[in-house]
Chains A and B, each alone.
Chain A
Amino acid sequence: MNRRNALRRTALLAGSAVAAPTLLSLLQSCKEQKRVDWVPQFLNQEQAVFVSSFVDTILPKTETPGALDVKVDIFMDLMYAKTYDENGQKYVVEEIDKFNANCKDEYGDVFANLSTEDKTAVLKKAEAETAKFNPGVWGTAVGEQKPVGFYRQLKSMALWAYFSSEEVGKNILSYDPIPGAYLGCIPLSDVGNTWSL
C-alpha cells in the first residue's frame, strides 16, 4: 500500500472518531451547542462553528498542519470584520445561515454536526453546483466571469488563508524571500514543494 492510501485511511478513521461525539450531541438535541474556543469579531457562535468545521473539512490535519492548526477560521472572521463592507458582511451571514439551513433540511442538522459522510456529500454537491473561477491574467479574470457562489468563495478564501499563513509559507512550502537570481530550469527535486512567494 502506498503512503497516500495509508494517509487516506488514517483520515477516514479520524473522521469516524469525530462522528461519535457528534452523534451524541445530536441525541442531546440542542442543549449543548458547539462553540469555538476563540472570540469571533464578526461571526456569531453558530457561524464561527460553521467556518471552523468547513475549513477543517476542506483542509484537515494530516502529516502537515490542518486549517485549524494555522487558525484559518480566526483569520477568516477577521477578514469579514475588517475587509468586507456592509453588503459583503450581510451576504456572508445570509449565505452561512442558508448553507446551514440546507444541511438541516437534507441531513437533519447544521453542517458542523453532520457525519463525515454527510459533510462530504454536502461539499460534493456544492462543488458540482458552483461555477468555477475563470483563469486570470495580470490581476483580472479572462472572459466573462459567472458568479462563483458562496461555496467556492469560501473554499478559495480558506486556501488563501491557509497557504499565506506563516507556518505553511515558511515551513511547509519552499520559502526563499530573496532568491538573488532567476534560474529558468532546475530539477523540481532541488526545490521540493511549491514556492510560497
Chain B
Amino acid sequence: MANFNIDAKQDMTYDAIVIGSGISGGWAAKELCEKGLKTLVLERGRIVEHVTDYPTMTLDPWDTELRGSLTPEQKAKHPKGIRSGFIGANNEHFHANDVENPYTEVKPFLWVRAHQMGGRSLLWGKQCYRWSDLDFEANLKDGHGVDWPIRYNDLAPWYTHVEKFAGISGEALGLPQLPDSHFLPPMELNCVEKHVKERIEKEYNGRNMIIGRVAHLTEPINGRGKCQFRNRCDRGCPYGAYFSSNAVTLPAANATGNLTIRPFSIAQSIIYDDESGKATGVRIIDSETGEFMEYHAKIIFCNASTLSSTQILMNSTSDRHPNGLGNASGELGHNLMDHTYRVGAMGKVPGFEDQYYKGRRPNGIYIPRYYNLDEQTKTDNFVRGFGFQGSGGRAGWGAGSNQENFGADFKDGLMKPGPWEFFITGFAECLPNHENKVYLNKEVLDKWGQPTLSIDAEWGENELAMNKQIRKDAKEMLERAGLQDITDFDNEHEMGYGIHEMGTARMGRDPKTSVLNGNNQVHGANNVFVTDGACMTSSSCVNPSLTYMALTARAANFAVSELKKNNL
C-alpha cells in the first residue's frame, strides 16, 4: 500500500487537541502548551487577533452612521440572540449567526453563542467568584443530582493558580459561603452604593454588600494594562485589561511555540478506537469549504461550550459508545442548568444630589447568598439559595422620554444628571434535573448539513420558589435601606437568559450516573477531557466561569502527568 499519506498524517498529528478557544479552551491551550505539548486548537469561527480585530473599540456613538443601531439585515442574522438585549452594532460581529446555526426550542430557551477565536470570553460579564463546599456538597446533602467527585480543597490551589494569571479584582470578606480569591485591589463603590451597603448591613445581620469581584485588572500585570473604565468591554479591550482568551491565555500559549490554531474548523465528532479504548483524534468540517478532515492527538480537551461540547460527544458514536461518547449512563445531554435572572427591585435614593462619579465602571455590587447556610439561616421554602447583583447610578437624559414635559426648560434640564437610582436582581441556583435535556435533532440541519440540538428545559418549583423570595427580599431590602419609588419585578423569563448554561455532561463518582470522573475524563475514553460548563454537577448561585478556569487548569495538569506516566 502506498504510504503517500504519512507526511499529511504527521502534519495532522499533535500531542493534544483543544476543541474551542473560549474561556476554558484558552486555559487548556495555555496549560498544555506550557507543559510542552504540541497543541492544536480547533476554532469553529474566524481568528480574532487581540486589538487589531476590535473594529469598534474606540467608536463614540456619532462615529458611525447609525450610531450603533442595527440594520434589518443585521437583525435577521440574530433572531434568537437578540432576545438577550445585548446585541448592538458595536458587538454584533462577535455574536453567532442564528440562521446558519439553528436550534430547536422544545420549550423556550435562549442560547447565546459566539463563534470566533475567544468565543464568549469577548462578551462575558466577567464576574468571578469561588465556589465553596456549600456548593460542592449540596447535591450529596439534599439529594438533588449526584455528588460532586471533588471538594473545595481539590480546587482551591487551582483557583489561586488561575486568579494570579487572569487578574481578579475584589474585596476580601472572609465568608465561608464565598471564599476569598487572590485579589487585585477592589473597584470603588459610589456614594449611593456605600450608603445602601451601610443601611443593608445595619438592618440585616449576616447580609453583606460588596463590590463585584471581576476579571478586570486594577493594576497592570504580565504586560497587560489596567482598566480604563470605558465600559466598552464587549467590543474587545485594547488594554487587555479584562480577561479574554485573546488577550491572556492564547498569547501565553503562543509564546511557548507549541500552539497551532486552526480557524473555521467545526468539530464534528471525536474519533474513537474501540480496540484501544481511546480517542485518536477529532473529525472536523472546514466551515468555508465544507471539507471533512481528521486531526490526531494523544489527548483531547473538549471546550466547545456547554451545549456544543455535549453535541460533539453525542455525534461521537462507535461500537463501544453507540449512544454518544461517555454516555453509558444515559445522562449525556441531561441535567441542563442556568441561573435565574431578572427578578429583583429598583428605586430612587434621595439625597446626594451634589455628588457624582467619574468613569464607567464595568462592574456592580454583589450581595452573597444568605439562606440555607446553616441551621439559623435555613428556610423551608426552598433548598439552596441566591445572591444579588446590581448597581447604583444617576439617571441621564433618557429619563426625559417619560417626563410630561418638552420645550426649552425641559431640554436644558436634561443636561444635568437626574436622581440617583439603585437596583438589584437575584441569581438563583438551578437544581440538576434529569428532565431538563438536550438531544440531537436530525430533522433540522445546520448550514453544513449537521444535526442540530433540541433544547427541552424549564425552571422547576425550587427555582420559582426562590424567584418569589428574591422579589420579596429585594423589595424589603430597598425599603429598609430607605429607597423611594420602589418597583419590584419578576420578568418571567425562560432558561438561557443567564447565559450560564451548565451540565449535560456532568462529573460524578459513579460511571453509571455521570459522564465524567473527578478529573474531567470521559468515562470509557480516558484521554478525552471535558472542562467547560458541560462538566458541572450542580450550578451554585454564583457565576461559574472562574470555576471552569480552575477545573481546566487542574485537569490539564492531571492529563500531562498521566501522559508522562503512559497512562493515557
Residues in A lying within 8 Å of B, measured CB to CB: 4, 7-8, 11, 57-60, 62-64, 66, 75, 78-79, 82-85, 120, 123-124, 127-128, 132-133, 135, 137-140, 142-143, 152, 155-156, 159-160, 162-166, 169-170, 172-173, 176-191, 193-195, 197
Contacts and interface: CB of A to CB of B under 8 A. Distances in A.
Given A78-B65, A85-B72, A142 B401 contact: no
Contacts of B344: 137
B191 interface: yes
Contacts of B405: 127
Contact of A57 (B61, B400, B406): B406
A79 B72 CA distance: 11
Task: Name, among A57, A138, A177, A195, the residue most crowded by chain B CB atoms within 10 Å (CB to CB).
Answer: A138
A8 B229 contact: no
Interface string B330-353: 000000000000101010000001
B359 interface: yes
B360 A197 contact: yes
Contacts of A124: 404
B489 interface: yes
Given A143-B491, A176-B358, A78 B66 contact: yes
Contacts of A123: 406
Given A8-B409, A179-B229, A187-B355, A83 B66 contact: yes
User: Range of interface residues on chain B?
Assistant: 35 or more
Interface stretch (B147-155, B411-419, B444-452): B411-419
Interface of B: 58, 60-62, 65-67, 69-72, 75, 84-86, 187-191, 193-194, 228-230, 342, 344, 346, 353-361, 394, 396-398, 400-402, 404-412, 414-417, 421, 423, 425, 487, 489, 491
B356 A4 contact: no
A179 B60 CA distance: 14
A79 to B, nearest CB: 7
A62 B423 contact: no
A163 B413 CA distance: 13
Given A83-B69, A169-B62, A182 B414 contact: no
A83 B72 contact: yes
Given A79-B69, A137-B425, A140-B342, A180 B228 contact: yes
B65 A181 contact: no
Contacts of A137: 342, 344, 346, 423, 425, 489
A156 B408 CA distance: 16
A191 to B, nearest CB: 5
Given A142-B346, A143-B489, A184-B193, A159 B397 contact: yes
A123 B423 CA distance: 32
Contact of A59 (B85, B361, B411, B417): B411
A143 B409 CA distance: 31
A82 B355 contact: no
Given A4-B409, A127-B405, A135-B346, 12 more contacts: A57-B407, A82-B66, A85-B75, A132-B402, A137-B489, A140-B491, A180-B228, A180-B229, A181-B359, A185-B194, A188-B356, A193-B416
B342 A142 contact: yes
B303 to A, nearest CB: 27
25 contacts: A11-B408, A57-B407, A59-B410, A64-B411, A127-B405, A132-B401, A132-B402, A137-B346, A137-B423, A142-B491, A155-B401, A163-B414, A165-B62, A169-B62, A179-B230, A180-B228, A182-B229, A185-B355, A186-B357, A186-B358, A187-B354, A188-B354, A194-B397, A194-B417, A195-B360
A188 B487 CA distance: 27
A176 B407 CA distance: 27
A66 B414 CA distance: 13
Contacts of B423: 137
Contacts of B412: 7, 62-64
Please provide the 6 A-B residue pairs with the shortest distance between their CB atoms, ordered closest to farther.
A139-B85, A182-B359, A166-B62, A179-B359, A184-B190, A185-B191
Contact of B71 (A83, A177, A188): A83
A169 B417 CA distance: 14
A197 B67 CA distance: 13
A184 B229 contact: no
Contacts of A138: 85, 342, 425
Contacts of B359: 179-183
B415 A172 contact: yes
Contacts of B58: 177
A165 to B, nearest CB: 6
Given A83-B70, A169-B60, A183 B489 contact: no
A97 B72 CA distance: 24
Contacts of A195: 360, 396, 417
B409 A182 contact: no
Contacts of B357: 182-186
